[in-house]
Structures are given as C-alpha cells and as structure tokens.
Chain A
Amino acid sequence: MRAVDAIMESLKAEGVDVVFGIPGGANLPTYDALYDAGIRHVLCRHEQGAGHAAEGFAKATGRVGVALATSGPGATNLVTAIADAVMDSVPTVFLTGQVRTDLMGTDGFQEADITGITLPIVKHSFQVADPREIPERLHEAFHIARSGRPGPVLVDIPQDLSRADINYEPSDAIALPGYRPTTDGNVKQIRLAAKALANARRPVIYAGGGVINAEGSEELRELCASDRFPVTCTLMGLGAFPAPHDQWLGMLGMHGTRAANYAMDEADLICCIGARFDDRITGKLSEFAPRAKFIHIDIDPAEISKNVPAHIPIVGDAKLIVSKLTREYRALETDSSRLDGWWERIQAWRERHPLGYTDSEDSEIKPQYMVEAMFEATDGQAIITSDVGQHQMWAAQYYHFCRPRQWINSGGLGTMGFGLPSALGAQIGCPDQTVVCLAGDGSLQMNSQELATCVAEKIPVKIFLMNNGFLGMVRQWQELFWDKRYSQVDMGTLPDWVKLAEAYGATGMRATEKGTLVEQMREALATDGPVVLDVQVTKEENCYPMIPAGAAARDMVG
C-alpha cells in the first residue's frame, strides 16, 4: 500500500480518531489518504491553532493529540504549540510534510529544517529516511509522547517517501534502547517518605500537573485523607485536589493565596508530587521554604534537585508511588493531633487573608466577579480553558476546580492565544461537556481565526471574553514596578466583538451590567453553537495577592 495509507493505519492502530491540521504541497499525499481513512480531520485556520487544539484535546482526555502541517511555513507555524507542549508535558504527535528528498538541503520551495528548528523543544523527533520504517517510527512516536513524562514528538516525512509503495505491517516493536522511563518508585525511599510525613509537625503537600498526567488525583485524595495534611496545587495542578475542601489551601506561587505561600514558608516538610519548583512557585530561591526538608516525587529524574535539593527523591509514576506511600503511611498509625498547632496557624492565615476584592458599588463588572459569575452559571462544572494574563490568574483563584482535566491553560510557556483553539480541541474530546474559554481581549486576537473552525465544524464552545481594553497583566506590572509608564498596553480600538462573532457565523453577545451577568452567561450557555460573550469589565484592576518577581513568599503584596 502507499506509505500514506500506512500512516492512516498506524494512526488508527494508536487509537487516533481525530486530527487537527492544514494541508499543503508537501503533505498532499497524506491528505489524499485522509480523504477516506475514517479519521475525523478538523481543518483549523492556522497551524498554531491546530497545534493548540491537539493540546486541548490531549489535556481534556489524557489521550495523545495529533496535528498535521505541510512543510516550511506550515511546520514553522506549529513551533509555538510544540514549545507549549514540551513546557506543560502534553502528549502530542506532530506530523509535518517535508520537501522531496532530492530538494532537501537546496533551499527548495517551502523547505524549512523543522527537525533542526524544533530540536530544543521536542521530547523527540524523527525524520523519515526510508518509507518502510513509517509504521515503526509512528508507533515509537506515540509511545514516547504518552509514556514517562509526556511531551511532543515530531515526525517529518518527505513528500516523495510518503508516496512510496510499502508493505504495511502493524508495528508493536519498540527499538529504543535509550528510553526506559522508571515508573515504580523505590520502596525504601517511599517508606522513608512515609516516616518523614509521620514525624513532620508542619507538613504541606504541594502537587502539580504531574499528578493529573499520571491520572493520580484519586490517589492524592487518598493520601490526604490518611491524615489532615494541608494541600496546595500549582497552576497546572488545579483540579487534582478538589478546591472546596477543608484541607485545601488554594493555589500557591506568584498569585497564590497567602495561606498556601505562608504554609510553604513555615513548613518543616514539603512533599512535592509531580511539580518542578518553577520560579513562579519559589520566588527568590535562596529564601524559599527555608525550614523545610523536601520529598520530591517525579517521573522525570532531571527535575529532582534541579532547583531545590531533595532530601527524599523518588523517581516514578505519581499514581503508583502515592498509593504505596498512603499504604505505608497508614501502617504507621500516626496520631494526627500533632498537626493541631499547624492547623491553628493555617486557619489564622485563612481568616486574616482570604482571597477577596472590593466589588463595585454600581453596576460595573469587576473581573473577579466575572469569574465568580462563570462559576455560578456553570455550577462549577464546566471545562475552562484560558488565555494568558490577568484573567487566567483570576480564573485560577476564583473558579474552584473540583476535578482533574477541568482546567486547561498554558502554564510553562504562557502562550497568549492558547484559549480558543485549546477549547475547540477539548470540546471535540469531550462532546458531552460544557467547554468555556475564558479569553483575554489581547489574547483572543492572536487566534480569533479559529472561530471559523468552530462554526464550520459545529463545535459549540462558549467564549467568555474578559474585555478590559488592556494587555492587562503587562499594564499591572507597568503600574506597580515601572512608575505607571503605560508603554504599548492600551489596546486602543478593539474590534466590535459582537459583530466579529456574527461575521464568522457565531452568536455575539455583550454584557455591561453586573446585575444581569449570570443570567446572560446562562443564556450564552443555552445557545446552540459557538458564542462570544463580550464582558466589559473594570479596565485597571490589579490581580492580588502577588509575590513580586524575585521576592520571597512572605513578602507577598496586595
């Protein structure tokens, strides 16, 4: 059969039933095979959109997301999505067409060295040199993307090779002698961790996106139920532990709660599960959690002791390790009254510094209120995707996520324009759920073309636009740290979002009054097809509390 038909068979063998992409010269043969392969193709309007859609699909379902692009500009348009996927460990496979082998290296039309360009931002990549190896390479690509610490794998296929006639045999061989992720976790270390937890007087469990990737949220809940451990999550970990819960401290880090950050600061033992001590968490590294010993559980050994030296490193799968840790801990039958004093202290922080804002006295919509209204209108159950900026942080603070994979955002790379395409992918992965994209007015303009995709493919995402007329997060920094010299943050004339939605064939709505916001949101949610709800909020509101860049947790402001 044609190599491209073998690609389709390989994709189906990996369980792929939907791909996102845009055709072009170098992947014409692939698109010919796709024509009647029985795999759904979602034609995006920009390859970056296709890449983020694949990520949104993967984050919402836990399955590998797939995006296709042609050579040259098609492939380079994927770059931001690939970088985003590597930073947030998203299982994705990117299939790019390449110019014919006889043109490679000659600056042929639409030639770009995409394997070279993406070398620092892929988990791995393959350039096919022999069409007969296509089934094996694709099988390995999916295996690498979804196992160990998940990530993006690029497979670049020259156009002429994709037309070759080959014998397709399903591949289940993995010839990767250098790739054997550790999953089990060292038993002695796990025991040591259980004992350390049992002896801690001021412990904190600090969980990240790794728990969600490992499908370990149940196990995390079990661990926390085995005693009264305080729990906090990173931006990527939200939903791994249910927000409405007495042991929940809120998110930690730059825009986290005081209770979470102060608890980290005073902890004697921090148990980090599937997180990586990013600078947005630690603030000033030398003053981070000065009294704490660290247990660090991660599937990626390179994360352990990268930023903060671990006292008890445990490499492996978070789900397996946390369930063993819970068993070991329960066996110690520890007296939980030793945590009474710690909880009194935490309770005092919670009471003195709850998250809050001053609501408007008139009908003006405060951005924080907008998120609260979203929570109410969706009964806290929607899948929320987000762009990057203040709105993202307010969503993390005020939408209380109760389950894993409910919160989809770009954390590591912080990619504006992630929200809409990832919502589209999430909606395709979870057709029975409500998917809301909380967009920023700056960010939405970076990928608004995907509204056309939503309309054409009947993908009913609801876009709730937090319209503050500014590149708000940058404006906030200019206000606080640069003497309010507002340099290029005022968006000036924005598009008329209602008309823009209508021009695309979607429904457009506008909200300007606090009193009717929840009702309008409900109306938007009840409307068929994609909807843009332009919510006009306070223009210059700041997101608090915050740890100024480079400061320590106890120096939170606001």
Chain B
Amino acid sequence: MGEPGTSEVMNLEDLEAASGFRTGRRHILSIVVENKPGVLARIAGLFARRGFNIESLAVGPTDDPAISRVTLTVDGGLHPIDQVTKQLHKLINVIKIRDLEPEDTVARELALFKVSVDDQARDQVMQFAEIFRGTVVDVSRRSMTIEITGTDEKIAAFEKMVRPLGLIELVRTGEIAVARGRSAT
C-alpha cells in the first residue's frame, strides 16, 4: 500500500468486509452503566425492540455507588453481537461494554434447586450435592433445597441429575463474570 501523495492505489478485490454477522457462540457482555433510574428498562427495551433475546441477566452495584454492572448473556448464533453492542453503546447511560472471551473469563452463577424427596431419595440428593460441592440450605419432611454455584454447564448437569427425582422449582441468579488476570473487566 502506497503513501499519500503517491499514485499507488489499492486493489478493490483485496478489501474485506467488516463482519456484522453471527459468531455462533454464546457471549457474556459485561456492561458498566451509570446508576440512574430507568437504565435497566432502557437496556431491556432495546433488546425487545431490536428483537434480541437475553438468555440471562444479572445486575448489581459496584465498588462505586454511582456505577452499576449489568452482566448479560446473548446467543451469538441468533444475533449479530456487533450490532447488539453498538446499539447498547448508543444508550447514553452505558459507559463501557466488554464482550468477554470465554477462555479468558471466569463466570459463575448461583442456583437454588427445590427437590421433592422421600427418605430414600434424600440420601441420593445429598450425595449429588456433595459431588457438585453444593450446600443443603433447607430441609423439610418432603423436600430439600440445594444451593449450587458454578458455570452454566455445571448447573445444567446438576439439574439433569435431580430432575428425575422430582424437581419442584429451580431459581437462578443469572451469570456474573470477570476477566481472568490482573486487569479490570
């Protein structure tokens, strides 16, 4: 490629288009927002209006009370992530967005499983809980509640184990994540 002022020009065939298209994987977006009224409604509204689907969503304060963090996961097989992040950036209250790379990210979610048990199943559930490093947080004569913390996959795996025993309900917090290493997310 020539310098400006020279007549050397570029070959159009060599140009590659910037892709605005499907990546095919799940994305965790970590979004730093101003802690202002209506911020979450703006984000949720944007997703609804543009036809993007939120898989999971977690919101919480940060060390700075003026700033909150929203972590949401989106399916990059269904949605153009590039468009999703650019549209999010247009929201005035959105300060920063990081599309976390799966290899460089620690992601966790907390789930509460309420399982129906009889005397026999109770032992089995306790065994599963131990294998998954879960905690029994409530017991009644005919039910048990287990807390599991981990990745999406781990929670799904535990669900597979206890569902046949009689899952009464499952409540999840939505994933939160940080980038690995020293730098801030």
Q: Which of A269, A304, A334 is the one whose CB lies under 8 Å from B7?
A: A334
Q: Which of B21, B49, B83, B93 is the one whose CB lies under 8 Å from A120?
A: B49
Whether, in the assembled complex, A360 has its beta carbon less than 8 Å from a beta carbon of chain B, the answer is: no
Whether, in the assembled complex, B17 has its beta carbon less than 8 Å from a beta carbon of chain A, the answer is: yes
Q: B5: shortest Cβ distance to chain A, in Å?
A: 5
A178 CA to B34 CA in the complex, in Å? Answer: 8
| A116 contact set on B, CB distance < 8 A | 41
Least CB separation from B6: chain A residue: A332
Instruction: Decide: B38 and A119 in contact? CB cutoff 8 A.
Output: yes
Q: Which of B5, B21, B34, B37 is the one whose CB lies under 8 Å from A309?
A: B21
Instruction: Decide: A144 and B92 in contact? CB cutoff 8 A.
Output: yes
Report A194-212 CB contacts with B as 1/0, cut-off 8 Å: 1110111000000000000
Whether, in the assembled complex, A356 has its beta carbon less than 8 Å from a beta carbon of chain B, the answer is: no
Instruction: Decide: A196 and B90 in contact? CB cutoff 8 A.
Output: no
Instruction: Decide: A194 and B4 in contact? CB cutoff 8 A.
Output: yes
| B92 contact set on A, CB distance < 8 A | 123-124, 144, 176, 178-179
A61 CA to B90 CA in the complex, in Å? Answer: 25
A332 CA to B6 CA in the complex, in Å? Answer: 5
Report B121-162 CB contacts with A as 1/0, cut-off 8 Å: 000000000000000000000000000000000000000000
Instruction: Decide: A269 and B12 in contact? CB cutoff 8 A.
Output: yes
Q: A555: shortest Cβ distance to chain B, in Å?
A: 25
Least CB separation from A301: chain B residue: B86
Instruction: Decide: B41 and A192 in contact? CB cutoff 8 A.
Output: no
Instruction: Decide: B4 and A115 in contact? CB cutoff 8 A.
Output: no
Instruction: Decide: B90 and A310 in contact? CB cutoff 8 A.
Output: no
Report B36-56 CB contacts with A as 1/0, cut-off 8 Å: 011001100110010000000
Whether, in the assembled complex, A313 has its beta carbon less than 8 Å from a beta carbon of chain B, the answer is: yes
Report A379-394 CB contacts with B as 1/0, cut-off 8 Å: 0000000000000000
Whether, in the assembled complex, B184 has its beta carbon less than 8 Å from a beta carbon of chain A, the answer is: no
- Would you list which residues of chain A between 254 and 313 have a CB under 8 Å from chain B? 268-269, 293-294, 300-302, 304-306, 309-313
On chain B, the number of residues with a Cβ less than 8 Å from chain A's Cβ atoms is 39
Q: A299: shortest Cβ distance to chain B, in Å?
A: 11
Least CB separation from B95: chain A residue: A178
Instruction: Decide: A311 and B17 in contact? CB cutoff 8 A.
Output: yes
| A176 contact set on B, CB distance < 8 A | 92
Whether, in the assembled complex, B75 has its beta carbon less than 8 Å from a beta carbon of chain A, the answer is: no
Q: A356: shortest Cβ distance to chain B, in Å?
A: 35
Q: Which of B41, B82, B89 is the one whose CB lies under 8 Å from A305?
A: B82
| B1 contact set on A, CB distance < 8 A | 192, 195
Q: A155: shortest Cβ distance to chain B, in Å?
A: 13
A333 CA to B6 CA in the complex, in Å? Answer: 8
| B93 contact set on A, CB distance < 8 A | 178
Whether, in the assembled complex, B11 has its beta carbon less than 8 Å from a beta carbon of chain A, the answer is: yes
Whether, in the assembled complex, A328 has its beta carbon less than 8 Å from a beta carbon of chain B, the answer is: yes
Least CB separation from A300: chain B residue: B90
Most buried by A among B11, B18, B38: B18
A120 CA to B9 CA in the complex, in Å? Answer: 44
Report B84-110 CB contacts with A as 1/0, cut-off 8 Å: 001101111111100000000000000
| A434 contact set on B, CB distance < 8 A | none
A152 CA to B20 CA in the complex, in Å? Answer: 27
| B91 contact set on A, CB distance < 8 A | 178
Instruction: Decide: B9 and A301 in contact? CB cutoff 8 A.
Output: no
Instruction: Decide: B45 and A119 in contact? CB cutoff 8 A.
Output: yes
Instruction: Decide: B7 and A301 in contact? CB cutoff 8 A.
Output: no
| B37 contact set on A, CB distance < 8 A | 127, 129
Q: A298: shortest Cβ distance to chain B, in Å?
A: 11
Whether, in the assembled complex, B183 has its beta carbon less than 8 Å from a beta carbon of chain A, the answer is: no
- Would you list which residues of chain A between 329 and 344 have a CB under 8 Å from chain B? 331-334
Instruction: Decide: B7 and A332 in contact? CB cutoff 8 A.
Output: yes
| A309 contact set on B, CB distance < 8 A | 17-21
Report A320-357 CB contacts with B as 1/0, cut-off 8 Å: 00000000100111100000000000000000000000
- Would you list which residues of chain A between 224 and 265 have a CB under 8 Å from chain B? none
- Would you list which residues of chain A between 432 and 446 have a CB under 8 Å from chain B? none
Instruction: Decide: B45 and A302 in contact? CB cutoff 8 A.
Output: no
Whether, in the assembled complex, A191 has its beta carbon less than 8 Å from a beta carbon of chain B, the answer is: yes
Instruction: Decide: B95 and A302 in contact? CB cutoff 8 A.
Output: no
- Ordered by A's residue number, 8 sampled pairs between the chains whose C-beta atoms are within 8 Å are A120-B49, A127-B38, A293-B15, A301-B89, A302-B83, A302-B87, A309-B21, A310-B17
7 closest pairs, A vs B, by CB? Answer: A305-B20, A309-B17, A302-B86, A311-B15, A199-B9, A195-B10, A198-B9
Given A199-B9, A312-B15, A332-B5, 16 new contacts (CB under 8 A):
A116-B41, A124-B92, A178-B91, A178-B93, A178-B94, A178-B96, A194-B4, A196-B9, A200-B12, A293-B12, A300-B90, A301-B89, A304-B20, A309-B19, A311-B15, A311-B16
